[in-house]
Structure 1
Amino acid sequence: MTESATQLQDLGREALIGRLTARLRLLDDAELAALELRTRPPALAGSDAASPPPPSPAHGEGMVTRRQFLRTSLGVGALGLATTAGVGYAAWEWGGMRQRTAAELAFGAEILKLRGLLVLYEQLENAGLDDLAAAALVAADRSLRLVERGATALQAGAERAEAALLDLEIPFAAIQEGILWVEARVTALAGALQRLEDALAQVLQPARPLVAAIAAFADRLLGLLPFGVGEPIRRGIAGMAEVLASVPELVEGVNERLLQPLRTRWFTTDPETGLFVRLIDQVVTGLLDPVEAHLATVAETSANWQQQLALPLRAALDERSALRAEILRFSGESGG
């Protein structure tokens, strides 16, 4: 048995003794005698039964007349009825007091239990869980708003980059046509050089490469000029020969280093090796599309946070705050 229960039991015992004492003072002599007889221990009750009977009076002395006997019998009967009624009433009162005492003890134990629960609840409230949850909610909302703001800016930038890359498709055909035109002009120039080389081969024997043939042909022209021809003419012929000699290298460089890479690696119509596959498609599908998918996930996560956690948590915190205020108001009214 706990100390609190023992204290409650002692208090109930003292209260019970006080009530019994007050009720005993209300009983008359006969009721007190009957109650004493009924509550007498067995040893004392047996001693009266074992005591010898009083001596019988002599004949004619102390003899009770019939009227006296009847009167005495009626008086004793009335006393017995009163005594029986008093004992029954006392027993009924005793049983009621026992029941009330048990109920008071149980009620007191329940009060102690509720007080202990109240102390634990107050300690739980002092932990500040609601304040921590509210602060965490505010911090998470602020962080998510920053993420959403950055995601919106990134989404706009990705859309502009994709639009700019896709706009390259518009001049793509014009660039291809320009490459084809330059390639045709270079091819025509190469054909003209080939015809020049064939003509020089007919004039110069033995046949020489085009550059050497041009130099030899220029020397022959200079040798055919009469002595005394002006130096400017000689320098002009020498310059023409130098220009003609550099054309074959120019044609070869334009074909191998410019036209062929542009035609085969960048602006080709081949879907496997063209510019859009090597650059634009890779940027769009390998970078911009995943970024857009990630931004959509961020937006969905933010919406789920608001609908499934933030809003219910705010509602629960508001409800708890209202209940706490009601408890404080009720406590103040009860204390007053």
Structure 2
Amino acid sequence: MSANCRAPDFEAPIPEEFYGARLDRALAAMLPDYSRSRLQSWLANGALTVDGENPPAKTKVAGGETVRLTVPSEPDDARVVAEPITLNIIHEDAAIIVLDKPAGLVMHPGAGNPDGTLQNALIHHDESLAALPRAGIVHRLDKDTSGILVVAKTFAAHAKLVADLAERTVKREYEAVAVGVMTAGGHVDAPIDRHPVDRKRMAVRESGREAITHYRVIDRYRAHTHVRCRLETGRTHQIRVHLAHIRFPLLGDATYGRRLAVPRDSSDAFATALRGFRRQALHARRLGLNHPVTGEYMSWSAPRPDDFEQLLAALAADAQAHGDG
């Protein structure tokens, strides 16, 4: 099949929530695996169309317009190679893979991580995934965040799941350990965008995209709080940025946290446990979605990894030793 008559790799309507927004903002939300500059380039050269046309990126959308993308072929030297990396697969069928990602595994190749990523592992698991954007990865977890995520195995499933994420019908729940003692749960409704100076970081900015995180307390310790977070939106680093914004940054978060403070009168063992937890204390615990083919609502959970369990045990033991347990 020639490129001109090839079926689109992505086809979905613009969600109604983007009424009045710029086209490039809507496209960035619908196709989060690609940079805005790349989307704008594809819009200009015809690879990406809106209702069959190529409007300017600044065009205001009404919602409901059909977006179609036919990803241009990559040169051979840009292709991601298959690597035999073990995957902890929780569920797999003809349309999706649900897996439990360990902390330390990068999602896809990039600067500083040319290989050894989840994308390399997925292509080794199923070579047909090489044809899909990011090997079918629908949403991301940071390198040092553990837990559950979904991968699409077909273009149709990928398009449906991306649209469902935009429509907020995919349910994502996390567990985290925050620095500081919260008095109660709540929610953070604060827009997020790139940091104005450090482009590798995100920040709460008035000009950013809507971002809403709900959180509730599971347990309180002497100087930390175990919380459950539910995402209403899915911005980059959202939980990490939002909890830092309300002055309860994640334990171990080198980017958005603060210097480790060991509570007074801590045992050597507890101090060692805190210092030894060298990643942000964040785990994607539960995922729920409507199956992209059957429409059936399905949900899965991923148990807390050993390092997270050991951290919680150390926090509980310290609280009990000081009469707070």
Shorter-chain TM-score bucket reads under 0.3
- Tell me the TM-score normalised to structure 2 length: 0.14
Q: Which structure has the higher relative contact order (CA within 8 Å, separation 6+)?
A: 1
- Tell me the TM-score normalised to structure 1 length: 0.14
Richer in strand (by share): 2
Richer in helix (by share): 1
